[in-house]
Amino acid sequence: MEYFVKEFDGIIYPWDKEFSDYKYIYVDLPEGCKYVEIEYSFDKEKGCILDIGVFDPQGSFKGWSGSAKQKIHIGESSATPGYIAGEIIPGRWVIVLGIAKVVENGCRYKVIVRAYKDQKEVSSYQKCLCIGKEKSQHYLGGTWVKGDLHVHSIHSDGKNSLCEIVNKAINLGLDFIAVTDHNTISQLHEIKQSDCPGILLIPGYEITTYYGHINIWGLDIEWFDFRRRSFDDFKNLITKISSEDFIISISHPFNYDKNCIGCDFKYKDLRGFHTVEVWNGASPVNWNVQGVNWWRKLLSEGLTISGVGGSDYHGDGGVELANPTTWIYINNFSLKDIIQGIKRGRIFISKYPSGPKQNIKVYQEDKQYSIGDKIKPIKTRIEMNIEINRELLTKYSDIILRITSSEEIIKIFSIRNEFTRIEETIDIDSKQRFIIFEIGSYRDPYSLDPQNTEDLLALSNPIYILT
């Protein structure tokens, strides 16, 4: 039996969102609470969307679930996925309603808070014991490992548990995944308890605002306040995250899905981030190519920004895990090496876990370079080894490998075999800034117009050109 119950209701109007993206509800919890339930509802049938999150009296973040869960609990020993278990501190708790979408005549909401003296026995999750064998920890001379940097679980609006996602990833042959749930870090608590020697679980989450989404990854991730609105808000956020040495990645920068609130990144004049998700599995190819072209613009400014891919897998919606797949070159099978590989841009992206695979080597003055390196603006020999499965060769009438720079498409080659080795000598000009290797199907392979790309199959990070 609950010994404390409080109800709140009201209407949120469009002018409320003009003032603030969040509605705050304050509830004073008495001494002796061991367990709290929060239930809320809103006019979903009218087209309204209200998100929800909780902070304790000390201002500590206790969780966020967007609009995916209408009933949540927080206790001393368990919590709804997306929320963090712990002491129920007496005092003024804050329930935050995120005003995602409000209709002209307003959105009615109702919030019910129930507190209990006894802790209910509700299991948040179980320790994940993964299938698969432990992998070699060291790779003499280095190796490419593959994975997915953008995945959602039941800790936000995903359909699968962490354990289900991990075992699916192992079955696909992946070496790493980043579970990047929206605005919460409860998944990190579960990751720490997991026993998965065959795969690396990268700590991270997606800072999800109504003006853009940002993935962050790092070794000891901490929570950052997602309540951002202005250009300066985002600038300060990026400065803060960078000071903690975490990787900042702009998610799906071009997203025009009206049902994906805040997915299109508003502040594209912002700088200071480390990577761009140029290839998002939930986005059409022409949106992704717009992202690629924006990335080219950033690189043309002289910035060294890595391009990454992420499936944005939620367990439904036709989006498959590791579609696309991000490949990272490492020497040691460790989180530290994965993070360093992302920072250094030792990355290529393929549409599927099976590829296409790119092995690019560049030779100058008896020295060998590869993706992520910096080279001189001189005559350069390039060796390209491409592996592509027969199914893709059958599906597309003409698969093109093209070498592109900041200013032009330098060369194109037709790929007709499962294993293709191409050697080419080209003159590198410092004005080109970088070269990128891209495989796809094109209406006009000599055009960088997004509408000319019928499908993108593989994309390398830059080899930078010294000026």
Which stretch of 11-15, 126-130, 336-340 has the lowest confidence by average pLDDT?
A: 126-130
- 219 or 148, which is more confident? 148
- 134 or 220, which is more confident? 220
Calculate mean pLDDT across residues 19-34: 95
Written as one letter, the residue type at 114 is R
What is the pLDDT at residue 133? 65
Q: Give the orientation angle of helix 186-193 with respect to helix 162-171, to 10 degrees.
A: 60
In percent, the amount of the chain with pLDDT more than 70 equals 96
Average pLDDT in the chain: 94
Token couple for 44: 């979903």
Three-state secondary structure readout of 193-242: HCECCCCEEECEEEEEEECEEEEEECCCCCCCCCCCCCHHHHHHHHHHHH
Domains of the chain, first to last: 4-116 (2.60.120.380), 130-353 (3.20.20.140), 355-467 (2.60.40)
Please give the Cα distance from 146 to 334 (Å, whole number): 13
Contact 8, 111 (CB under 8 A): yes
Identify the band that residue 354 occupies on the pLDDT scale cut at 50, 70 and 90. Answer: very high
What is the pLDDT at residue 233? 98
pTM above 0.75, yes or no: yes
Segment 379-431, tens digit of pLDDT: 999 999 999 999 999 999 899 999 999 878 999 999 999 999 999 999 999 88
pLDDT at 437 > cutoff 90 = yes
What is the pLDDT at residue 126? 66
What is the pLDDT at residue 134? 67
Token couple for 408: 């032009």
Handedness of CA 265, 271, 273, 279 (dihedral sign): positive
Q: Is the peptide bond before 203 cis (omega within 30 degrees of 0)?
A: no
pLDDT at 292 > cutoff 60 = yes
Token couple for 8: 């709140």
